[in-house]
Amino acid sequence: MLGAMLGTAVVTTSPGVAGAASVPGLSPTSVTVGTISTQTGTLASNFSSLIYGERAYFNYVNNTLGGVNGRKINYQYALDDAGNPTTFNQLANTLINQDHVFAVTGVATAFFSPNLFTESGIPTYGYNVTGNWAGPKNLFAAGGSVQYYPAAAPQVSYVARQTQKKPSLAFIAYGVAASAASCQSEQNALKAAGYTVSYSDLKVSYPGSTVATDVQRMKQAGSNMVVSCMDVQGNVTMARAIKQYGLNMTQLWFSGNDQSTLNTNQSLMQNVYFDIGHVPFTASPTLYPGLKLYFAQMKKYEPAYASDEIALQGWESAALFVQGLQLAGKNPTQASVIAADNSLTAFTAGNLQAPVNWKSAGHTGNAPPYCLAYIKVSGNKYLPTLNKGKNVFNCFQSTNPKKNPVFPLPAGVPAPA
């Protein structure tokens, strides 16, 4: 075991035991799993809460459902890479080859390297921000392992058309692939479709210390909507500059859907838009029972993270692992759990997220429908917006930026109960 294991992030439901029948991490009464995430350092705010969503889900499974097929989930390892790629690789080796976990149920870091995970064939789940999850059948990122950038173009253009009569777009991102690739793809697609792109800077230095200058230039260029591929810290810095320079513009962020962030920056975040792949936290729990279960268990086990989007990614990852484990039966192997998850054609984590087809598109690419929910900051809440009636999702049937979402919703998409 590692001395770096975080005591505050460990749930041990049964003692660590040797694997049964040569299956790593498996005993007659438990399944031992672990995680690696960035818990400390400058990047921690982007990744640290994933473990709390996982922990709440495993506590729910163990304490309410009695485990899975007679076994409790032994969430024994929650390791911190401190935002260091070398440390991440060392921890991955320790978790798989020394601790012999059955599955890595949560990976949340900017430095995910898939090699050891794919070579070992271990079931691996987590939060995809790097584009390194696509392809291998044993890698399952929450919401799908493929960052399919063409699908974002119609989602961005729909916000532009709904909020501005003559959209004049600005794109802003950090100068790293994980940030710039998405905005670059959207910018190219919208420009090709005839939209005006009046400003672009996809090389902002982390953590957005120069973005105020960009905002000045957006104002000079006449931009009336900005699409940000930065993280929360950069987005807040940008919003502060937008307010300072008196710009009246639509803001679309891909990061920052977190209640604690809004509580701290409420005056800066008014009317900011987000697109998300899950049922909004402010949707009706009565209409969306999966949200009701999520809040009940999070408030019971991890109340400080109930409205945290990264924690929700942890919950979704844990739910996918548990479903695969359940389908694999009483004598599971790592391979049988992987196969079971790859048999799911519309996984929604209990009607919490847009469906993922793990049999095909989840690993190798994306196929329509491309579904998401829009939310907008109003007061101290993120409220569903640009939706139709009580339904919170919009689904696009193509990557054409000029096409509107389709209704009724395609089969499998979570709809009001």
Closest of 50, 73, 56, 227 to residue 143, by C-alpha: 50
pLDDT at position 19 is 39
Confidence of residue 348 (pLDDT cuts 50, 70, 90): very high
- Assess if residue 105 is contained within a domain: yes
Q: Are residues 79 and 121 in the same domain?
A: yes
- Assess if residue 2 is contained within a domain: no
Q: Total structural domains in the chain?
A: 2
- Assess if residue 283 is contained within a domain: no
State yes or no: pLDDT of 174 exceeds 70.
Answer: yes
- Assess if residue 406 is contained within a domain: yes
Range 306-334 average pLDDT:
97
pLDDT at position 20 is 47
Confidence of residue 417 (pLDDT cuts 50, 70, 90): confident
Range 120-125 average pLDDT:
97
Q: Are residues 108 and 136 in the same domain?
A: yes
Q: Are residues 157 and 261 in the same domain?
A: yes
Q: Tokens representing 351?
A: 């009607």
Q: Are residues 417 and 340 in the same domain?
A: no
Confidence of residue 147 (pLDDT cuts 50, 70, 90): confident
pLDDT tens figures, 12-55: 333 333 334 589 999 999 999 999 999 999 889 889 999 999 99
Q: Are residues 72 and 188 in the same domain?
A: no
Of 364, 380, 400, the last residue of a domain is 364
Q: Are residues 183 and 257 in the same domain?
A: yes
- Assess if residue 258 is contained within a domain: yes
Q: What is the CATH number of the domain that holds 353?
A: 3.40.50.2300
- Assess if residue 125 is contained within a domain: yes
Q: Are residues 195 and 340 in the same domain?
A: no
Of 349, 364, 379, the last residue of a domain is 364
- Assess if residue 1 is contained within a domain: no
Q: Are residues 189 and 102 in the same domain?
A: no
- Assess if residue 282 is contained within a domain: no
Of 339, 364, 389, the last residue of a domain is 364
Q: Which residues have CB under 8 Å from 388's CB, separation 6+?
A: 394, 407
Q: Are residues 245 and 298 in the same domain?
A: no
d(CA 415, CA 121): 35
Q: Is the pTM of this model over 0.85?
A: yes
pLDDT at position 208 is 85
Q: Are 269 and 332 in contact (CB under 8 A)?
A: no
Query: Which amino acid, one-letter code, is at 127?
Result: Y
100: left (phi over 0), alpha (psi -120 to 50) or beta: left
Q: Are residues 134 and 152 in the same domain?
A: no
Q: Are residues 113 and 54 in the same domain?
A: yes
Question: Residue 172, SS3?
Answer: strand
Q: Are residues 333 and 184 in the same domain?
A: no
Length of the chain: 417
Range 360-374 average pLDDT:
89
Domain range for 194 is: 148-276+369-417
